[in-house]
Amino acid sequence: MKFHLFSRMIDRRIAEYQRELIETHYREVDNMYRQIRGWRHDYRNHIQTMKAYAASENWSAICEYLDKLDVDLSTVDTVVKSGNPMCDAILNSKISLAKSRGIEVRADAHIPLALTTSEIDLCCIIGNLFDNAIEASMDLPEEERLIRVYMDMKNTQLYISFTNFTAKGKLKKVKGLFRSSKGEGHGFGLVRIDNIVDRYGGYLSRNSEEGAFTTEILLPQ
């Protein structure tokens, strides 16, 4: 009886964590597209400003204005175009978040439009992997922060790889597992990933080398 009550409590906490995680991701995506809509809304004003500079042949002002626009647009640019809209939304929102914290992201993703993996499960996996990588990167000097993301199909399986540099050297396993050091609640992200991969009959590998941590996942499609 006590075991069933404990199991239900854990299920409720994981479900609550999953709901909060998904809500956070959608807020990030909504914020990114709100910025894009705002930039498009100002497009006509930008054109009129540059026309005014051109009319007065103020070429240096035009060049300076274009430089400012380039910087502004880079903050809302869609970095990843994988072929799957949901993956693009998650990846680009997280890349935008990482860049705002001074973390370089090198992402390469090629994903078909149709996946058997549910959008909610994919959101949880990618979101948790990114959040963990961002958290670990913040312990490093800004010039050393780097996250590498690779996603592609390997035959009939979706391959996901995340690598980030860490300041803690080679991490140690506890009872064969890497544990989260971010406090209560954060460990549910790792549990959630493990459960999703197990449910799909997939493969998961976590590997810690000196100064780098890599997670690899294979999900049958």
Domain boundaries, the chain: 79-220
The angle that helices 85-100 and 119-137 make with each other, rounded to 10 degrees, is: 20
Task: Answer for the pair 128, 190: CB distance below 8 angstroms, yes or no.
Answer: yes
Q: What pLDDT is recorded for position 183? A: 45
How far is Cα of residue 217 from the mean position of the Cα atoms in its chain?
Answer: 15
The residue behind tokens 């300076």 is 64
pLDDT of the chain along its 221 residues, tens only?
Answer: 555 665 666 666 666 656 665 666 566 666 666 666 666 667 777 788 888 888 888 988 888 888 877 766 655 555 677 888 778 878 888 888 888 899 999 999 988 778 888 887 888 899 889 988 999 899 899 999 999 999 999 999 999 999 998 876 555 554 445 554 454 444 567 888 999 999 999 999 998 887 899 999 999 98
Query: Side-chain half-sphere of 134: how many Cα atoms within 13 Å?
Result: 17
Residue 80 tokens, joined: 């990843």
> What radius of gyration do the chain's Cα atoms show?
21
| Cα angle 30-34-36, degrees, rounded to a multiple of 5 | 120
- In whole angstroms, what is the distance from residue 221 CA to residue 156 CA? 6
Three-class DSSP category at 8: helix
CATH assignment of 79-220, given 3.10.20.70, 3.30.565.10, 3.40.50.300, 3.90.420.10? Answer: 3.30.565.10
Q: What pLDDT is recorded for position 47? A: 81
Task: Answer for the pair 90, 29: CB distance below 8 angstroms, yes or no.
Answer: yes
Looking at 75-206, list the stretches that DSSP marks H as alpha helix, in order from N- to C-terminal side.
Answer: 85-100, 119-137, 187-199
